[in-house]
Amino acid sequence: MDREKQKSLVKWVSLALGIILAAVFLTLAIRGVSWPEMLGIVRQANPLLLALSILYGSLSIFLRGLRWGVLISAQKKVPAWIMFFATAVGYLGNTFLPARAGEVLRSVLLGRKAGIPKSFTFATAITERIFDAVTLVLIAVVVIPGIGTMPEWLPQAMRVMGVLGGIVIVGLLILPRVSEWVLRMFAKLPLPSALRQQAEQLLREFFEGAAAFINPGRAFGIIAFSALVWFMDASAAVTVSHALGWNMTYPQALLTLAAMGLSSAIPSTPGYIGIYQFVATTLLPVFGVTRTAALSYILVLQATIVAAVVLWGLPGLWLLGAGKVNQKEPDSPLV
């Protein structure tokens, strides 16, 4: 089986598994929900507060773009508007395409628009996602003691993600010190000269991107922007609760976002259908709301997130020239 067929098979298996899990989680989420009550809650939502939530979501995307730009600056400083639209395109892809294709899409588009190797941009995108995962675990660790009883799955998921995230972070810290050794070992492989040279270049670019946050100045910038990102995301979550007539606190919002983020590691359909609903209907009742109110809340919150992503992602596709994304380029293993 050639490489393209293997990649296609993996994508289809991942999508099929995601659909099965989505159906299971969605079935669990909607048990005992009153549909008339849910429709009544959604219809009474405050449109101005929902618009404010979309604004918070837009600011979060902008700040995430600036944070990614800190990593990208290890090779080249890219204008903030390009980083913003590339980030929005990535989230658009993750929302509507399977297998988190948005990560590849934003890396390819940014690389071509800014003249940066795609391997480097992809490595920084993955590094950013890893940092986010570790941040979510830290948020959960800090917030859970003040919340009380938690769904059984959340602490277990937090422990697993914490261990995996810690291992990956340690790996990223070690990577700059072993990259030359890896390249020397790779150079000994019995490969054609032209192929070896191209592969070595790609590996060097990937190692450089993965190690971009090692610099103390960049590390500080990433941490500072991350704090602002999660404040905006929490503000959006709190605002949606106010729009629906109940008052979520910031610690509750942060824990909810952390649980959603951790759950997104599970194979899922585009838009995380089923998984996010399960998270909400098992976690939010701990805060004193009904399962029906919890399901209403997560559907409206997801709608505001999608609205912000579509609002900026669609023009981002045009501005970054997504129409050329299918043209294979020699320096990129991503397309």
Query: What are the tens digits of pLDDT across the range 256-301?
Result: 998 898 887 777 777 788 889 999 999 999 999 999 999 999 999 9
When divided into structural domains, the chain yields a total of 1
Helical (H) or strand (E) element with 103: helix 101-114
pLDDT at 328: 47
Q: Residue 83: which of 69, 71, 95, 72 has the closest Cα?
A: 69
Give the burial class of 249: count Cβ atoms within 10 A of its Cβ; 0-12 exposed, 13-18 middle, 19 or more buried: middle
How far is it, in rounded angstroms, from Cα 258 to Cα 131? 13
How far is it, in rounded angstroms, from Cα 331 to Cα 327? 12
pLDDT at 299: 96
Give the burial class of 61: count Cβ atoms within 10 A of its Cβ; 0-12 exposed, 13-18 middle, 19 or more buried: buried
Q: Residue 97: which of 271, 264, 314 has the closest Cα?
A: 271
How far is it, in rounded angstroms, from Cα 288 to Cα 102? 36
Higher pLDDT, 30 or 156: 30
Q: Is residue 31 part of a domain?
A: yes
pLDDT range class, residue 86, cuts 50, 70, 90 = very high
CB atoms within 10 A of CB 313: 27
pLDDT at 333: 44
**Residue carrying the six token digits 């429709």:** 39
How far is it, in rounded angstroms, from Cα 65 to Cα 88? 8
Q: Is residue 30 part of a domain?
A: yes
pLDDT range class, residue 331, cuts 50, 70, 90 = very low
- How does pLDDT run across 214-230, given as a tens digit for each residue? 788 888 899 899 999 99
pLDDT range class, residue 198, cuts 50, 70, 90 = confident
Q: Is residue 335 part of a domain?
A: no
Spatial contact of 134 and 166, defined as CB atoms under 8 Å apart: yes
CB burial of 67-87 (b: ≥16 within 10 Å; e: otherwise) equals bbbbbbbbbeebeeebbbbbb
User: How many residues make up the chain in this entry?
Assistant: 335
Helix 193-210 × helix 153-187 angle, to 10°: 140
**Residue carrying the six token digits 């293997």:** 6
- The DSSP output letter for 329 is -
pLDDT at 44: 94
Residue 302, domain extent: 3-324
Q: Residue 53: which of 297, 287, 262 has the closest Cα?
A: 297
Q: Is residue 334 part of a domain?
A: no
Interval 133-145 mean pLDDT: 80
Q: Is residue 314 part of a domain?
A: yes
Q: Is residue 333 part of a domain?
A: no
pLDDT at 8: 64
Q: Is residue 219 part of a domain?
A: yes
Q: Is residue 81 part of a domain?
A: yes
